[in-house]
Amino acid sequence: MEAAEALTLLMSPQGRIDPYPTYERLRAHGPVVEALPGMYVVTGYAEADELLRDPRLVVLDDALRDEVWPDWRESPAVASIARSMLRTNPPDHSRMRRLAAGAFTPRRIASMRDVVRAQAEDLLDAMCHRAGDGAPVDMLSDFAYPLPVGVICALLGVPEADRPLFRRWASDLTGVLEPEITLEELAVADAGATELRDYFVELVVARRNAPADDLTTALVQVHDADGDRLTGHELLANLVVLLVAGFETTTNLLGNGLVVLLGHPEAAAALRADPGLAPAYVEELLRYDSPVQLTTRTSSAPVRCGGLDLPAGSVTLLLLGAANRDPRRFPDPQRFDPTRDQAHPLSFGAGPHYCLGAGLARLEAQLAFPLLLRRLPELALAGTPQHRTRLTLRGYQSLPVTLGTPAAADRGTPAGAGPSTP
């Protein structure tokens, strides 16, 4: 299959639902291939890692976006993402990232272990109560969504009663992160972005009037003290992105990972018996079925990588999910093997845009998986789960499961062991 044909297949609904066979078709052309004129696709681990760290590879900032999409400011979804640290380059990116980084230090994340564990236990108790008659429950709605959304909302200072609002808004907004989007999908994303922005406008006013010990208050105070350090547009955009990124990827990590574990009962039994294995398991789950499958960069200057010359102005599609299955880096990459020597999957990126909340996502997963397996030894899928037709953020639409007979709750037994990986 020609590279251009494989890229078209990858962007199709079928290709988005199961991208891994198409990744191998692209890999057959080499770790870097020019799939279309001026568009390069990267499937190699070393090449993706190198380009993510290369300062000549930049995200599509305002100036570049103006060249390809002059009307982008009219889209609330695109504008929300564009004003955040997710879509800015140094020095603006560095400035905004520093302002939020204090909430995600390894020490701060480690201090949240008991809080995250308690939230996970409470959610599991409630889920077991709802499934008392043996009926299936949706693991996404009952556990994989509310756990990370509760954690990030607590950091941001979002009232608990408001947290159910965000799932649909965020799901709608993140459609704009796909490499291709229709006008209808863009309209849905714009509606979600507008709802989120309006919500945070009200929260900013509330925190300005009644400061609290949360990240929203901290960012509001930075903006009010010096608008050059954080403009009003940047304040709202980063609050939106911190919320969405803070739970969307972790929800997918928990959902994707649970399906993998249930499909590998011997590995699940080993983790159930020894929660101390959780860090290695989470790294392998991130590698095997990454919740983030791709990111894009534009060359600000000529770059040579993978034996090819990428001219200035070229677009590079970095397939993180493919890089995580590069056989040059991971022997027998199609096999789920939590005992393999870890080689740092690229699921959270690399370089200056490395995911700010990676340590927090790892902590939540390291606690959640042993807890679920220990408390629910008969946990099983209730049918075949269906993936969303999304490529960038890979996850399930719903995840119906049966719980079986829960084991007795033992809150004195750790749900996970070992420090979180920063």
| DSSP-derived secondary structure for 244-293 | HHHHHHHHHHHHHHHHHHHT-HHHHHHHHH-GGGHHHHHHHHHHHT-SB-
Query: Which two structure tokens, joined as six digits, stand for 341?
Result: 């020597």
Q: What is the pLDDT of residue 410?
A: 62
- Residues 150-169: what's their mean pLDDT? 92
User: What is the residue type of 187?
Assistant: A
Residue the block writes with tokens 């490395």: 354
139, two tokens: 């693991």
Q: What is the pLDDT of residue 155?
A: 93
pLDDT of 417 strictly over 60: no
The pLDDT-based confidence of 327 (bands split at 50, 70, 90) is: very high
pLDDT-derived band at 66, boundaries 50, 70, 90? confident
- Residues 6 or more apart in contact with residue 39 via CB below 8 angstroms: 7, 314, 315, 316, 317
How much is the average pLDDT of 184-195? 95
- Average pLDDT, rounded, for the chain: 93
Reported confidence tier of residue 51, pLDDT bands at 50, 70, 90: very high
Go through 177-207 and write b for each residue having 16 or more CB atoms within 10 A of its CB, e for each that does not: bbeebeeeebebbbbbbbbbbebbeebbebb
Q: How many CB atoms lie within 10 A of CB 5?
A: 12
Question: Cα separation of 109 and 105, whole Å?
Answer: 6
Q: Which two tokens stand for residue 125?
A: 């108790």
Give the residue-averaged pLDDT of 388-403.
95
Predicted confidence (pLDDT) per residue in 248-297, tens digit = 999 999 999 999 999 999 999 999 999 999 999 999 999 999 999 999 99
Question: Would you state the pLDDT for residue 132?
Answer: 80
Please tell me the predicted confidence (pLDDT) of residue 174: 92
> Residue 384 and residue 152: Cα distance in Å, rounded?
30
pLDDT band at residue 316 under the 50/70/90 scheme:
very high
Largest CA distance in the chain: 63
DSSP-derived secondary structure for 85-128 = GGG--TTHHHHHHHHHHGGG-HHHHHHTHHHHHHHHHHHHHHHH
- The answer to whether the CB of 248 falls within 8 A of the CB of 170 is yes
Q: Which residues contact 408 (CB under 8 A, 6 or more apart)?
A: none
For the ranges 71-75, 223-227, 257-261, 406-410, the one whose mean pLDDT is highest: 257-261
How many whole angstroms separate alpha carbon 28 and alpha carbon 31? 8
The mean pLDDT of 38-53, rounded to a whole number, is: 98
Q: For residue range 331-368, list pLDDT tens digits in order.
A: 999 999 999 987 799 999 999 999 999 999 999 999 99
